[in-house]
Structure 1
Amino acid sequence: MDIHSLVKLTSRAWALDILAHMHAGVSGRQAALLTATGAGRTAFAASLQHLMALGLVERNPGHGHPIRPEFRLTQEGAAAAALARRVLQAVPDGAQLGVLRKSWTVPVLALAKQPQRFSGLRAGLGAITDRALSASLQRLEAQNWVAREIDLSQRVPFPVYQAVNAGGEISRIVAMAA
């Protein structure tokens, strides 16, 4: 999955959770997915509509029968759901899933597989603002998912960021899917 698709996918908080649960076998019924994710109704509905707009989830044309799911993964959605499942499994602590639901977390980690300067991350992400990237990096550094080191090899020292620990694992998972 390329970085721009990853940015689009993760722009809604519950998108990865919905895909991961559908991949894990949770019924494509709205009530079952809502319960499994633990999301609020409004945020869940916005994330589901977003996934449908991206073409990853579709309404089941056979819906209407009480046991048929309302929604199902498309062929492209099945690949994204497998990726989402592996990303969520890489987070050992359930309390850290909140960080994973932030918009720029997964794309930043994907680019930080190798050491990157701030400007390199910003250029790779495209539409991100300096403030949003800075906040993301600080949040990831606080979780110990990104390491910040100062490169003294140049005339002007500059910070370099690299994904480590669970962040490094997420970065590897995303890189394998690319």
Structure 2
Amino acid sequence: MSTLARLVHLRWNVPVIAELHRGRGGRFVNLVHGLGVSRESLRRTIAFLEADGLVQRNPGYGHPLRPEYLLTDAGARLGEPAVALTDLLRELDATDVGLRKWSLPILTGLGDRPRRFSELGNSLPGTTNRALTLALKDLEAAGLVTRTVTTDYPPATLYGATPPATRVAQAAERLRMPE
């Protein structure tokens, strides 16, 4: 699984990194209310990010309102790209579809030219045909992907990125996890 696909495996990973970067850390309850995420989803997300070495519990003592969670050095490198991506998705009104599991890997996989379904699927190890189909339909409905059926025989279906999707893909490319 690519590092980008791993990072967006959970829907809230990127927004949590962005919020921790904006606030130079954060408290659990503030993240729940600020992001509108359920407590259980945030628990899973924090555990995932801690296991990947991107977030850590604040080891310090002090004021009771000090941040509970901080970005590690590796997480801090993703902070600014995460903020840029979440802001861009909000600007395009595509946050919901843009942060689904396969959306960003598909948009980066499309690149600068239209691709066939099978070609796109082969470039995304770990995805299933059903997941790819559903993600492409959602992205098309959001205006981020175009679907064209050729007049060749046999007809082929090509998927391409729209100009806003190209901007999202460029922002997502900056979000590659450190190896």
Same fold (TM over 0.5): yes
CA positional deviation for 1:84: 1.6
The runs of 5 or more residues in structure 2 that have no matched partner are none
Listed as ranges, the matches of 1:144-159 within 5 Å are: 144-152=143-151, 156-159=154-157
Task: Give 2:53's aligned residue.
Answer: 55
Task: Give 1:164's aligned residue.
Answer: 162
Task: Tell me, yes or no, if structure 1 residue 104 matches structure 2 residue 102.
Answer: yes
Cα deviation 1:11-68 (Å, max 9, x = unaligned): 1111111111112226421111112111011111111111111111111211564132
The one-letter code matched in structure 1 to 2:116 is R
Task: Tell me, yes or no, if structure 1 residue 76 matches structure 2 residue 74.
Answer: yes
- Residue correspondences, number: 175
Secondary structure of the 1:91 match is: helix
The runs of 5 or more residues in structure 1 that have no matched partner are none
User: Residues 74 and 151 (structure 1 numbering): CA distance in 2 closer, same or farther, change over 3 Å?
Assistant: farther
CA positional deviation for 1:177: 5.1
Cα deviation 1:85-116 (Å, max 9, x = unaligned): 11111124585321123111111111112222
Q: Is the 8 A contact 1:83 1:177 kept in 2?
A: yes
Aligned equivalents of 1:9, 1:64: Cα separation in 2: 32
Task: Tell me, yes or no, if structure 1 residue 142 matches structure 2 residue 141.
Answer: yes
Cα deviation 1:92-147 (Å, max 9, x = unaligned): 45853211231111111111122222122211210000000000000000111011
The one-letter code matched in structure 2 to 1:123 is N
Secondary structure of the 1:19 match is: helix
Aligned equivalents of 2:153, 2:23: Cα separation in 1: 54
The one-letter code matched in structure 2 to 1:23 is H
Aligned equivalents of 1:125, 1:166: Cα separation in 2: 21
Listed as ranges, the matches of 1:17-32 within 5 Å are: 17-25=15-23, 27-32=25-30
Q: CA RMSD in A?
A: 2.1
User: Residues 109 and 94 (structure 1 numbering): CA distance in 2 closer, same or farther, change over 3 Å?
Assistant: closer
After TM superposition, the structure 1 stretch with the greater mean CA deviation from structure 2, 126-135 or 61-70, is 61-70
Task: Tell me, yes or no, if structure 1 residue 116 matches structure 2 residue 115.
Answer: yes
- TM-score calculated relative to the size of structure 1: 0.87
Q: Is the 8 A contact 1:113 1:172 kept in 2?
A: no
Secondary structure of the 1:90 match is: helix
Q: Is the 8 A contact 1:141 1:148 kept in 2?
A: yes
Aligned equivalents of 1:8, 1:126: Cα separation in 2: 11
Task: Give 1:131's aligned residue.
Answer: 130
